Structures are given as structure tokens and as C-alpha cells.
Amino acid sequence: MLDDVDKRLLRQLQADPSVPLTELAERSKVKVGAAARRLEKLAAQGVLKGQHMVIDWSALGYSVEVSLRFTLDKTQSTAFDEFLAAARLIPEVVAIQTFLGVVDVRLSVVAKDMAHYQKLYRDQILVLPHISELEALMHVATIKSSDSLPI
């Protein structure tokens, strides 16, 4: 299991992923060599999987973001697989999540404007297989997006 030093390192790294190692070690109150070894170990254990850059789609002109929540027709056993395979082919889909609950699948979709969204919705979303119910939440603003774990 992780000890307090590991937790401090991960907490600091989450808060500021681009911080240089020496600075990260200092903020976590651990020597640089020890910090490097610990991060390596966390990576080897699969706890620390890597880093990625988040693309701000609105900066590229995709000002519309919609959460599409689907309930699928589960009388067919292949419904999930076929739906997900088809959804992956739509370029404007930026995230796919599956759920246990009222909603089965959620797609995050970006579009340049409402006209683009409407075309996308008609031509690509509504033709997805095995949709039983579909409802849209229009994204207004992101209030918090840390995605940090409360380690």
C-alpha cells in the first residue's frame, strides 16, 4: 500500500503535473533521488499511468458541448457492443462512458455551432443502433474540473 510520502507526491503531482522533479520533491518534503525512485515504483505498479494534455475544444471553435444520455434496448445481447462500436466512429464524440443506473451510455459530443450540432444529431446520433431512449444535456459552464482524487 501507499505510505504518506507516496500520497504527498501524488497529491502535489495532481495539483501541478508540469512541475519539475526537484520542485515536486521539495513540495513533498522528500529528497530528489527518493522522489524519483518512488515515482518509478508507482509507475511500475500501475498506480501512476502517465499524463495527457486536455484539449479545449472551444478554443478550436467547437463552442457547443452536449451530454447525450442513452438508454439502450437491452433485449438484444449485442446492443452495448454494437452501439459503442458505432459511437466510436463519430469524430465529434470526445468521451464515452457506460453506467449502471437509469442511463446506460453517455456520449460527450462537441460541435461548432447549433446548426452543426443539429446536423450531427440527425445524421450520426439518431442512426446509432439499439437506442431506446435519448436525452440531451446542453453544457453551459464548467464550474469545477479537477479530476483529482482526494488522496
Which residues would be at the binding site for another protein (CB under 8 A)? 2, 10, 13-14, 17-18, 45-57, 59-62, 67, 88, 91-103, 106, 110, 135-151
d(CA 93, CA 125): 10
Closer to another protein at the Cβ: 127 or 149? 149
d(CA 18, CA 3): 23
Nearest distance, CB of residue 5 and another protein, angstroms: 15
d(CA 138, CA 114): 11
Closer to another protein at the Cβ: 15 or 126? 15
Nearest distance, CB of residue 20 and another protein, angstroms: 13
d(CA 87, CA 94): 10
Closer to another protein at the Cβ: 32 or 136? 136
Closer to another protein at the Cβ: 127 or 140? 140
Nearest distance, CB of residue 127 and another protein, angstroms: 18
Give me the residue label for grid cell 507526491. 9
Closer to another protein at the Cβ: 32 or 94? 94
| Cα-based distances in Å from 99 to 41, 67, 71 | 32, 14, 10
Nearest distance, CB of residue 33 and another protein, angstroms: 20
Nearest distance, CB of residue 129 and another protein, angstroms: 18
Q: Is the dihedral of CA 108, 61, 120, 91 positive or negative?
A: negative
CA 33 to chain CA mean position, Å: 32
